[in-house]
Amino acid sequence: MFAGFETAQLDVGDASVFVRFGGQGPAVVLLHGHPRTSATWHRVAPLLVRAGHTVVCPDLRGYGRSRGPAFTADHTGYSKRAVADDVVAVMRRLGHRRFSLVGHDRGGAVALRLTLDHPDVVSRVVFADCLPLTEHLSRITAEFATQWWHWFFFAQPEIPERVITADPDSWYRGDVKIMGEENYDEWRQATRNPDVVRAMLEDYRAGLTVDRRHEEADRAAGTRITCPTLALWSLQDDLEDLYGDPLAIWSRWADDLRGHGIDSGHHMAEQAPAALARALTDFLAPEAATGRPAEQR
């Protein structure tokens, strides 16, 4: 995986972030979702490098080989704000003042927080198979609770840790044929680590508490995404079934929005890498063509 990429373990504040990076040209950061690591991008990242980008793939705080602070009752150490700050610090360490951002699943929640908290550093943002957390929570139905019950199970104290770590392979059920052997092995090693499992649960616990409050504060203040925004969703997953047109929801947050579905299951970077890379390169083309963010031309 990631031929020609470098790796680093960077200490940033109260976290230690594992990151892969490679290529030349305008920088784009790829943020994975639950329960993956940065290895989920192993088929997409080389295509973006080939299209003229520097590509940076970190493990989110607590996931994979990244580590965060001690766990606390308020979950702030694993809030999306804390993880977004990690990404900004990593990019500064790598010499990038501005960059494009792609967030899938839980990585999309981080991308939203980063874009709203640090609008000066994000040139373009892509949200893949995700919505703002508060948009999910404000639309809870029996169908949502049935399909996405794990959100509320993960929020329970202590019980999820015991259930998951008792048999992580049965719980997470990765498919080596879909993921690729090296990606699968890295993911399996991470999900068998009790510290990683606890950190991933803290991600969800923060999502229902501190992260929700942060998004609600943004809505009350009228804070919006002002950079060009792309929303992508998996046609074989349930986002449209639950909510209708995702663009109608994202338009409540973004001023300059476009998007479409991709014929894939939820893990589109593994299941439809060529289609995803094509959508990303088309959207990021102004940066790649000029060698710098379009907003700086």
Query: Looking at the annotation, which residues are catalytic?
Result: 105, 266
Closest CA to 39 of 20, 15, 67: 20
Residue 222 backbone phi and psi in degrees, to 5:
75, 20
CA 201 to chain centre: 15
Q: Are 83 and 217 in contact (CB under 8 A)?
A: no
Please identify which residue in the block is written with the tokens 């044929």. 177
Is the previous residue joined to 35 through a cis bond, with omega within 30 degrees of 0? yes
The one-letter amino acid code at 234 reads: S
For residues 191 and 171, give the distance between their C-alpha atoms in angstroms, rounded to a whole number. Answer: 10
- The answer to whether 38 and 66 have CB atoms below 8 angstroms apart is no
